[in-house]
Amino acid sequence: MTLPCISLARRFDPAAHRPFVIGAEQVGWIRASDVALLARWPDVFACNGERVVLSPRFDTVDLRSAALGAVIGALAADGRIPGWRDETYAIRNAFDASPLAFIERAASRFFGTMTYAVHLNGIVEYGDRAPQLWIARRSDTKATDPGMLDNVVAGGIGWGFGVAETIVKECWEEAGIPADIAGRAAPGRTVHVLQSLPEGTQAEQIFVYDLALPDDFAPRNQDGEVGEHRLASVEKTARWIEEGAMTVDASLATLDCLLRRNWIDHDACEGIDTLFEPPY
């Protein structure tokens, strides 16, 4: 049986979407049902039934960002783009690529543009007994996946931040982990998600990290985005994943950790290897 998170991570129908193109490059996926919303701006988008193209007259990063920003503001006012974050994301198909434009984070799923995130597995190893994992429960007021279980630290990488900087920032904000401990995080693998969601398309590259935490350390949320932290056994954590109690992203990041450390059987994660390669 395929775990729910593995199926959901690639729950996407290209036929129900239209490529979003800037220049000669596809940078996103827009739901076919949402394309009509963009017809209000014929000077910004060319919609030909097969794809949505940003007008070539916007030929600089600043011009593209301004044009998209005006559209995004209007769509948000109409309730079409929920969960405004006041965070800037770059439109880029590779993490080290130059941005084609900048947009509000909340709009990334409407346009289906590539986003990047870090997920940290907080591990406590005792030596004389089985290891445990710190698991967070997301605040009930979160814009996405409220109340669901999550990794001890997880966050999107905004423009201007690198992976290491984001880890340190998110470790403190979400779990009160000081920088000297956060800096010890060790990289795992990279997970690729392409899934349809109520707010659009999540096309995301997740950098997975493991962090050994002292056995006398207890996470303490600083920014109000975490409802509580739980210290759980590998068995209980695996059961939460199987039951779908954890977010898709957190489930995949946790499975990567458990598989790399041989704490669970690879045969129980049918299909997960496909998620370590981009789906496009």
pLDDT digits (tens, 9 = 90+) for 98-126: 999 999 999 999 999 999 999 999 999 99
- For position 225, what pLDDT does the model report? 87
End-of-domain residue from the set 77, 94, 113: 113
Same domain, 253 and 120: yes
Report the pLDDT averaged over residues 80-88: 93
Assigned domain for 2 exists: no
**11-53, pLDDT tens digit by residue?**
999 999 999 999 999 999 999 999 999 999 999 999 988 999 9
**196-236, pLDDT tens digit by residue?**
999 999 999 999 999 999 999 999 999 988 999 999 999 99
Assigned domain for 59 exists: yes
Residue 7 predicted with pLDDT over 60:
yes
Same domain, 76 and 141: no
Assigned domain for 251 exists: yes
From the CB of residue 111, how many other CB atoms can be counted at a distance below 10 Å?
Answer: 26
> How many domains does the chain fold into?
2
Distant-in-sequence, close-in-space partners of 15: CB < 8 Å, separation ≥ 6: none
Report the pLDDT averaged over residues 243-254: 97
Same domain, 145 and 198: yes
Helix runs in the chain, H state only: 4-8, 32-35, 61-77, 108-111, 163-175, 179-182, 234-243, 248-260
Query: Around 220, how many Cα atoms within 13 Å sit in the side-chain half-sphere?
Result: 5
User: Strand ranges (DSSP E) for 97-199?
Assistant: 101-104, 114-124, 132-138, 149-151, 153-156, 186-197
Helix runs in 83-144, H state only: 108-111
Same domain, 82 and 105: yes
Lowest-confidence pick of 63-72, 135-144, 155-164, 249-258: 135-144
- For position 81, what pLDDT does the model report? 96
| pLDDT grade for 151, boundaries at 50, 70 and 90 | very high
End-of-domain residue from the set 69, 87, 113: 113
Same domain, 126 and 212: yes
Name the residue range of residue 236's domain. 115-271
Same domain, 234 and 263: yes
| pLDDT grade for 279, boundaries at 50, 70 and 90 | confident
- For position 16, what pLDDT does the model report? 97
- For position 144, what pLDDT does the model report? 84
Assigned domain for 101 exists: yes
In the chain, the amino acid numbered 261 is: R
Hunting for tokens 């693998």 — which residue is that? 189
Domain of 36: which CATH number?
A: 3.30.750.160
Assigned domain for 139 exists: yes
**263-278, pLDDT tens digit by residue?**
999 888 999 999 998 8
Domain of 177: which CATH number?
A: 3.90.79.10
Residue 280 predicted with pLDDT over 80:
no
Assigned domain for 34 exists: yes
Same domain, 86 and 192: no
- For position 1, what pLDDT does the model report? 56
- For position 153, what pLDDT does the model report? 96
For the question of whether the overall pTM of this predicted structure is more than 0.85, the answer is yes
